[in-house]
Amino acid sequence: MEDIKYRVHEVLTDGNLDYKQKKHHLAYIAESTQAYPNVSSEAMKALSEKVICDLFEGSAPYRPRYVLPDYKLALKKGVAYLELDPPSDFDEAINFLSILYSHIPSITGYSVYLGNIDQLLLPFADELSEEAIYKKLKLFWRYIDRCLPDAFVHINIGPEDNIIARAVLRIERELKQVVPNLTLKYDTEKTSDALLTEAVKTVFEVAKPHIANHNMTASDFKGEYGVVSCYNSLPEGGGSHTLIRLNLKKITDSHQGNVEDFISKTLPQYCQMTLDVIEARTKYLVETVKYYETDFLAQEGIIKLENFSAMFGFYGLAECVNTLMKNNGKDYTYGHNEEANQLGHRILEEVKRIVDSRQLPYCKANDGKAFFHSQSGIDIDIDETAGARIPIGDEPDIYSHIKAVAPHHQLFNGGISDIFHFDETVKRNPLAILDIIKGAFKKGMRMFTFNLSDSEFIRITGYLVRRSDLKDFREEGSRYGSALFAANSMDNANIDNRKAKRVNSHERTASQY
């Protein structure tokens, strides 16, 4: 109790936190008084040693980690709980969504998914001029950034070229906001070169959108999908109860034996343990908290339990491969050597096989299996590289980079991302980026984005922060919750010194107190 009192006091008196942030942290402390969902002592030990990491979801899950409301359905039916009738014009639709967004739960307290916004708003845009749409959307965008100040808040556009998608890109370039994060769904058949060029020019200004391979991603889902938070692809009208990630570096460090032993013993043992944690947390949310019976979103069909699954994530593949190689007497590194790359693919295929062969409760969206996700890292990852990425600053040339990572992109129905780096000269030649995007998708990549040297924005892993916000946060706190993660990441991961800019993060904030 004394410990709790102390932690609460720390939050209350921390001048770097605003009122809402304090409230969020206090809730986390309150949640931590509950016993962790029932898992083996072995799994608890792995959790406490961060061999298995629950990404600070909290010890008593009372809301799903990723919720992707079926906004289209909500707009059609209205929302009784919020006393919202179906909108009849553009202004009403924006107002409707603005209200609904603020009621969507997540780990950070802000919705990770705001919908495929062009598709949602197009039916209301018929009568409006381009300029009118632009003006209304610009105010909407300002609302999103100011009232949902979290870089994990994510919105989608595409794949079709349309007036709203174009206005969104124009507004992004003008406002230069961190929020919302943005993905363009790209389809060779449906997305015009003109829209893709607009997107690339926007990347030059604000380091977003990410570009998602629409056909490849859509084929992994029964219905519509969304790209949310840090490159998680999940079903609309559902989402993921939880995301638990396995630290491949740590399990390799403690592994005794050769590569074959690792793949046949150590790896399956920890994968099953991770799946145990996923199962226990899911059951707690569904059976103990009864979230899907009691929340208005579920009661009104805006989300459905049958559209949910859970996510199995991992990180530190590069370190895992390099260590196994080294122990085998070979100084080959992941991203630079074919044998090392092949070992990486083999490990991922094995994990995928294990994940797919374990039936989990309440995971109907993926036929009882967890979605497989290459987790893009958080601020505490000092020694581990995000997901299956090549370590920061160690990336080979762009073709070798794509050749090394593209073969495993197909495994990740839950999403994966890689980041390519360019210097500023590319700004004079956006067509060059179009060439690379098209080539990368031809090679089977699922999703990626670009960072430009000297950009005002830094992509920490999946999310963005402004350079200036990082500086300000250190001095006086920031309106954005994500600036704290970023500040930690910058301190921990040498981000300012690298060719690359990334290392994702999320929920550490609350757990610090």
Residues near other proteins (CB under 8 A) are: 397-399, 402, 422, 425-426, 428-429, 431-436, 438-440, 442-443
Residue 443 or 471 with smaller CB distance to other proteins? 443
215 token code pair: 């056909």
Report the nearest approach of other proteins to the CB of residue 159 (Å).
20
Q: Which is closer to other proteins, CB of 441 or CB of 485?
A: 441
Q: Are 18 and 479 in contact (CB under 8 A)?
A: yes
Element of type H or E holding 116: strand 113-116
CB-nearer residue toward other proteins: 289 or 434: 434
- Residues 147, 114 contacting (CB under 8 angstroms): no
Residue 126 — φ and ψ, nearest 5°?
Answer: -50, -45
Cβ distance to other proteins smaller for residue 280 or 433: 433
Which among 315, 244, 235, 247 is positioned nearest to 280, based on CA atoms?
Answer: 244
String of b and e for 166-199 (b: at least 16 CB within 10 Å)? bbbbbbbeeeebbbbbbbbbbbeeebeeebbebb
Q: For residue 420, which phi and psi values (nearest 5 degrees)?
A: -105, 145
Cα three-residue angle 233-237-240, rounded to 5 degrees: 50
Q: In this structure, what DSSP letter does residue 79 have?
A: B
**φ and ψ of 124, to 5 deg:** -105, 5
Q: Pairing between strand 232-235 and 225-228?
A: antiparallel
Nearer to other proteins, 455 or 461 (CB): 455
**Smallest separation (angstroms) from other proteins to the CB of 384:** 29
Residues 318/397, Cβ–Cβ less than 8 Å: no
Nearest CB to other proteins, comparing residues 170 and 438: 438
368 vs 430 by CB, closer to other proteins: 430
In angstroms, give the least distance from the CB of 376 to other proteins: 24
Q: Which is nearer to other proteins, 122 or 398 (CB)?
A: 398
Q: How far is the CB of 219 from other proteins (least distance, A)?
A: 21
Q: Do strands 210-213 and 447-452 pair parallel, antiparallel, or not at all (unpaired)?
A: antiparallel
DSSP per-residue string spanning 302-327? SS-GGGEEEEEEEE-HHHHHHHHHHH
Least distance to other proteins from the beta carbon of 157, Å? 24
Least spacing, CB of residue 443 vs other proteins, in Å: 7
The greatest distance separating any two alpha carbons of the chain, rounded to the nearest whole angstrom, comes to 69
Asked if 157 and 171 count as a contact pair (C-beta separation under 8 A), the reply is no
For residue 311, the minimal CB distance to other proteins (Å) is 31
Helix (H) or strand (E) run with residue 386 in it: none
CB 275 within 8 A of CB 310: no
Minimum distance of other proteins from residue 194's CB (angstroms): 15
Report which secondary-structure segment, H or E, holds 94.
helix 90-101
Rounded to an integer, what distance in angstroms lies between the CA atom of residue 195 and that of residue 157? Answer: 11
**To the nearest whole angstrom, how small is the minimum distance from the Cβ of residue 502 to other proteins?**
21
**Among residues 441 and 473, whose Cβ is nearest to other proteins?**
441
Distance CA 101, CA 158 (A): 20
- In this structure, the chain runs to a length of 513
Q: How far is the CB of 422 from other proteins (least distance, A)?
A: 7
C-alpha 425/C-alpha 406 separation (Å) is 26
DSSP 8-state code for residue 124:
G
Compare residues 365 and 436 and give the one whose CB is closer to other proteins. 436
Smallest distance from other proteins to CB 453, Å: 13
Residue 436: CB minimum distance to other proteins, A: 6
Residue 463 half-sphere exposure, CB side, CA atoms within 13 Å?
32
Integer-rounded Cα Rg, in Å, for the chain is: 22
413's tokens = 């129905």
Q: List all residues 6 or more positions away from 177 whose beta carbon is below 8 Å from its beta carbon.
A: 141, 142, 144, 145, 206
CB of 432 to other proteins, least distance (A): 4
